[in-house]
């Protein structure tokens, strides 16, 4: 009886935790702002697909604006507006935003700033709202008490300075001149692909913003470009600025369309393919596919039902949904690969995405191999859960896992990025899946399951099970113990993780040897990858010695996963080493 209660509490808390997280994040989202008439009617589509040059890449303006606006609003859209509109509106109507809460402040320094807000006699409700959302108005940023507090926080180099810097970057990112200077949309008329693009600020200046008149109209035009096109672009720009300021949606839409057309003719050789830009905009419009976690979650439900109740229909359904999720996942990676022009595993967002992709792919292969055994469904389930959790992190932590597409760091631009990184992240996904199956085993034991285990375990079980009529038959025998199956399945993944992690470490050492001049430098990231491996060596040897092999295998598989996550999360974000970029 007690045991049943414990199981109920366990299951309910697990469900409550996941639901709570999702609801909490949902509640924290910024209120949707009803767009005004201008915002609703202005046709931004041509603007969205405009090419912009941004440090070493040509992006769609949509992708560019998203990255820039994220620097201002963190996880929130600036003033609830879509990034392209917000970018333009901030650039052209900066005064409108002085008192709007758009600057995102990290949680770590909110209490101090809230105290400073009290000093500034800000209404208590507004302060409470701030501590919850972290959003502050640019006007308030300059208030004396806030500035004084920021000055104090900046002094603390170790703990709070970086958050203060983030705030000042956010403020700088709302600056009109900065926005117009970064807005490099004009290809160099006679340049090569190595020549910098020209920005609005360079050509027209933004004098009109100060007094409402466009002084830029008298500018000399675009150097090296034939006069008619140059003056057409200048006049498009001026019209756009004026109509935007007058909130004339029809006029602005016309100016945008004309500007976009004319820009393509400045240097047609250099201008990227429209399809690629459209695809980039589409990719971000689809929120970089991070919502695919919901599809994975939907797949996990019938899969767990199959595991618990052996309903074959549930397995088929789960498999179909999983295939759909994986197809979307693959599409996300493929689009990203095509847009960035390089393998998408060069930053945290991409590494997380690729890791679970390898995990799911591996699960399909394994499931094919075990299709006739009682293990079937377990790998699907484990990989679906891992993919779900990983993509939830992407959705709920957009400021940590940034979806922006940038160039690969020069030091990573090597063959070994394909080999070492993929091997390591694949092993990480396997470790995650092993931990999920191990948790199923622990849950089984918690629910009163016997302390059974697979005598051989891992691939050995698959190879030897049923090889002779007198040997083990739990994998094919319908009456096989669930404990034995779960234990054997954990070991199948464990063994793979063991080999891939070791191989990945060795490949990393080979890369480090020719990139940094030493195969092993006791860098924290290296050490914790080794520590994860040490846990697995311990697991293999403990499994030889203890009586309750299943239990200890499961516990150590979860511990190994925890060390792996510690390496991936804490070491990456809190302890910087040479590997700090991935």
Partner 1 sequence: MQNESAPASQSFNPFRAIYDLFSSVWFGIFLMVMLFVYMSIASAGILHPHSITDPFGPWVRWIVRENFNKTEMEVFAWWPFTLLMGLFVLNMIVVTLRRIRLTVLSLGVWMIHTGIVILTLGSVYYFGCKLEGDAPVFRRSIVLNVPGADGPSRMVVRPQNRVFVPGADGEYSFTVASINPSWPLLSGDDKGKTACSVNVAVQTPTQSFIRQMLIGYPQYTEDIIPGKGRAVNSTGKKLLDDSLELTFEYEPQTQYFIKDSAALYVRKVGETRWIERPIEGLPHYSDNIAQRSDVWLSRGEDTVDTDPIETDPIDIFVPKVADNDPLGDMNVHITGRLQYSTGDETRWIPNANRLNPMMKVAFNGNGFEQEFSLFALSPRFSDADPSMLAYHWAENEQQRDEFGASTGNQLTIRIPAADKSIRISVEPENTFDRDKNITFTPIEGTDWAYRLKSFHRSFPIGEGMRVPITVVEFKSGERAITRWVTDDPKRAQDLTGSQEFSPPDPAVEVVFKPGALITLVAGPDPNNIDVFVGSPDDRRKGVIGETMEMGSGIHMTILESHSHTSTETRPIFIAKRDRNPRAENKFSRIKVELTSNQWNFSRWLPYHHYPLVDEQYSVPDRLEFRYQPTLCKLPDGTEVELLFSRRSERLPAVMALEDFELKVHTGGFVSGNTASVRDFISRLRPFKGGEWQPEITTSLNDPATYDDLSYFQAEWDPGNMAFTGLGVGNRDGVYIQLLGTCIAVFGMIYVFYVKPVIKRRRQQAVWAQVESAKNSAATGEPVAV
Q: Does 24 engage in binding with partner 1 (CB under 8 A)? A: no
Q: At what angle do helices 227-245 and 83-92 cross, to 10 degrees?
A: 90
Q: Does 261 engage in binding with partner 1 (CB under 8 A)? A: no
Nearer to partner 1, 43 or 154 (CB): 154
Which residues, numbered 174-193, are part of the site for partner 1 (CB under 8 A)?
184, 193
Gap between the Cα atoms of 442 and 354, Å rounded: 28
Which residues, numbered 55-74, are part of the site for partner 1 (CB under 8 A)?
55-58
User: Do 43 and 253 contact (CB within 8 A), yes or no?
Assistant: yes
Measured CA distances, 433 to 67, 427, 560, 579 (Å):
32, 10, 12, 24
Which 8-state DSSP code applies to residue 30?
P
Which residues, numbered 118-137, are part of the site for partner 1 (CB under 8 A)?
none
Of 40, 220, 544, 547, the one binding partner 1 (CB under 8 A) is: 544
Q: Does 573 engage in binding with partner 1 (CB under 8 A)? A: no
Q: Does 365 engage in binding with partner 1 (CB under 8 A)? A: no
Place of tokens 């160039």: 407
Q: Does 548 engage in binding with partner 1 (CB under 8 A)? A: no
Stretch that binds partner 1, among 20-28, 74-82, 365-373, 498-506 (CB under 8 A): 498-506
Q: Does 458 engage in binding with partner 1 (CB under 8 A)? A: yes
Among left, alpha and beta (phi > 0; psi -120 to 50; other), residue 566 is alpha
Residue 513 CB, nearest distance to partner 1 (Å)?
6
User: Do 197 and 184 contact (CB within 8 A), yes or no?
Assistant: yes
Of 97, 197, 244, 293, the one binding partner 1 (CB under 8 A) is: 197
Residue 310 CB, nearest distance to partner 1 (Å)?
27
Nearer to partner 1, 320 or 476 (CB): 476
Q: Does 552 engage in binding with partner 1 (CB under 8 A)? A: no
Per DSSP, the three-state class of 135 is strand
Which 8-state DSSP code applies to residue 31?
P
Q: Does 344 engage in binding with partner 1 (CB under 8 A)? A: no
Nearer to partner 1, 123 or 544 (CB): 544
Phi and psi at residue 54, to the nearest 5°? -140, 120
Of 142, 506, 548, 580, the one binding partner 1 (CB under 8 A) is: 506
Q: Does 510 engage in binding with partner 1 (CB under 8 A)? A: yes
Stretch that binds partner 1, among 5-13, 133-141, 473-481, 492-500 (CB under 8 A): 492-500
Q: Does 568 engage in binding with partner 1 (CB under 8 A)? A: no
Gap between the Cα atoms of 278 and 291, Å rounded: 20
Gap between the Cα atoms of 167 and 155, Å rounded: 15
Q: Does 115 engage in binding with partner 1 (CB under 8 A)? A: no
Q: Does 268 engage in binding with partner 1 (CB under 8 A)? A: no
Binders of partner 1: how many residues, by CB under 8 A? 76
Residue 414 CB, nearest distance to partner 1 (Å)?
4
Which residues, numbered 384-423, are part of the site for partner 1 (CB under 8 A)?
406-407, 409-411, 413-414, 416
Place of tokens 């108005």: 137
Per DSSP, the three-state class of 225 is coil
Phi and psi at residue 2, to the nearest 5°? -60, -40
Nearer to partner 1, 11 or 193 (CB): 193
Looking at the chain, the number of H-run helices and the number of E-run strands are 27, 6
Nearer to partner 1, 398 or 508 (CB): 508
Of 232, 459, 555, 562, the one binding partner 1 (CB under 8 A) is: 459
User: Do 52 and 277 contact (CB within 8 A), yes or no?
Assistant: no
Gap between the Cα atoms of 182 and 64, Å rounded: 10
Nearer to partner 1, 7 or 456 (CB): 456
Q: Does 467 engage in binding with partner 1 (CB under 8 A)? A: yes
Q: Does 574 engage in binding with partner 1 (CB under 8 A)? A: yes
* Residue 135 in tokens: 């959003």
Which residues, numbered 91-110, are part of the site for partner 1 (CB under 8 A)?
107-108
Nearer to partner 1, 169 or 520 (CB): 520
User: Which residue, among 459, 434, 389, 458, has the nearest Cα to 554 in the 3D structure?
Assistant: 434
User: Do 130 and 117 contact (CB within 8 A), yes or no?
Assistant: yes
Nearer to partner 1, 95 or 470 (CB): 470
Of 328, 527, 555, 562, the one binding partner 1 (CB under 8 A) is: 527
3-state secondary structure 44-102: CHHHHCCEEEECCEEEEHHHHHHHHHHHHHCCCCHHHCCHHHHHHHHHHCHHHHCCCCC
Residue 373 CB, nearest distance to partner 1 (Å)?
14
Which residues, numbered 154-173, are part of the site for partner 1 (CB under 8 A)?
155-160
Query: In whole angstroms, what separates CA 411 from the centre of its chain?
Result: 22
Q: Does 269 engage in binding with partner 1 (CB under 8 A)? A: no
């Amino acid at each position: 009886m007690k045991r049943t209660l414990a199981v109920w509490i366990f299951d309910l808390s697990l469900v409550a935790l996941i639901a709570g997280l999702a609801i909490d994040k949902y509640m924290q989202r910024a209120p949707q702002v009803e767009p005004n008439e201008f915002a609703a009617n202005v046709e931004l589509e041509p603007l969205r697909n405009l090419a912009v040059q941004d440090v070493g890449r040509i992006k769609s303006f949509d992708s560019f604006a998203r990255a820039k606006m994220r620097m201002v609003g963190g996880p929130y859209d600036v003033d609830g507006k879509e990034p392209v509109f917000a970018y333009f509106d901030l650039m052209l109507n900066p005064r409108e935003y002085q008192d709007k809460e758009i600057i995102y402040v990290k949680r770590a320094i909110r209490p101090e700033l809230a105290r400073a807000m009290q000093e500034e006699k800000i209404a208590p409700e507004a302060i409470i709202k701030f501590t919850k959302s972290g959003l502050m108005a640019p006007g308030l940023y300059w208030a004396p008490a806030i500035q004084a507090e920021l000055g104090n926080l900046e002094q603390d180099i170790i703990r709070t300075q970086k958050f203060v810097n983030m705030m000042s970057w956010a403020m700088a990112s709302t600056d009109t001149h900065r926005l117009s200077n970064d807005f490099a949309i004009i290809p160099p008329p006679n340049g090569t692909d190595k020549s910098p693009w020209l920005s609005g600020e360079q050509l027209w200046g933004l004098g009109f913003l100060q007094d409402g008149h466009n002084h830029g109209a008298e500018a000399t035009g675009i150097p090296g470009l034939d006069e008619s096109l140059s003056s057409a672009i200048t006049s498009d720009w001026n019209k756009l600025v004026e109509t935007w300021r007058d909130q004339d949606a029809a006029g602005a839409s016309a100016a945008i369309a004309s500007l976009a057309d004319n820009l393509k003719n400045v240097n047609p050789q250099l201008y990227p393919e429209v399809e690629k830009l459209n695809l980039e905009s589409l990719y971000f419009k689809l929120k970089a596919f991070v919502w695919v976690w919901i599809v994975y979650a939907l797949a996990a439900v019938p899969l767990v039902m199959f595991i618990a109740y052996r309903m074959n229909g549930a397995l088929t359904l789960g498999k179909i949904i999983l295939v759909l999720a994986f197809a979307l996942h693959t599409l996300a990676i493929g689009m990203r690969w095509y847009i960035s022009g390089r393998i998408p595993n060069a930053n945290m967002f991409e590494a997380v995405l690729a890791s679970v992709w390898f995990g799911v792919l591996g699960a399909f292969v394994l499931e094919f191999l075990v299709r006739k055994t009682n293990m079937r469904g377990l790998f699907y389930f484990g990989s679906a859960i891992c993919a779900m959790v990983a993509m939830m992190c992407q959705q709920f932590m957009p400021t940590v896992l940034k979806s922006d597409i940038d160039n690969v760091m020069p030091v990573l631009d090597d063959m070994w990025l394909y080999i070492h990184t993929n091997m390591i992240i694949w092993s990480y996904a396997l470790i995650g899946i092993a931990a999920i199956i191990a948790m199923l085993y622990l849950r089984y034991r918690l629910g009163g399951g016997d302390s059974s285990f697979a005598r051989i375990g891992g691939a050995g079980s698959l190879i030897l099970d049923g090889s002779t009529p007198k040997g083990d038959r739990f994998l094919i025998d319908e009456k096989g113990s669930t404990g034995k199956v779960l234990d054997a399945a954990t070991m199948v993944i464990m063994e793979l993780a063991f080999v891939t992690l070791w191989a990945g470490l060795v490949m990393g050492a080979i890369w480090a040897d020719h990139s940094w001049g030493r195969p092993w430098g006791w860098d924290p990231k290296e050490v914790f990858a080794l520590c994860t491996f040490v846990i697995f060596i311990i697991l293999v040897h403990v499994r030889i010695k203890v009586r309750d092999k299943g239990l200890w295998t499961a516990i150590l598989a979860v511990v190994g996963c925890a060390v792996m996550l510690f390496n991936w999360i804490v070491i990456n974000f809190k302890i910087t080493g040479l590997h700090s970029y991935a």
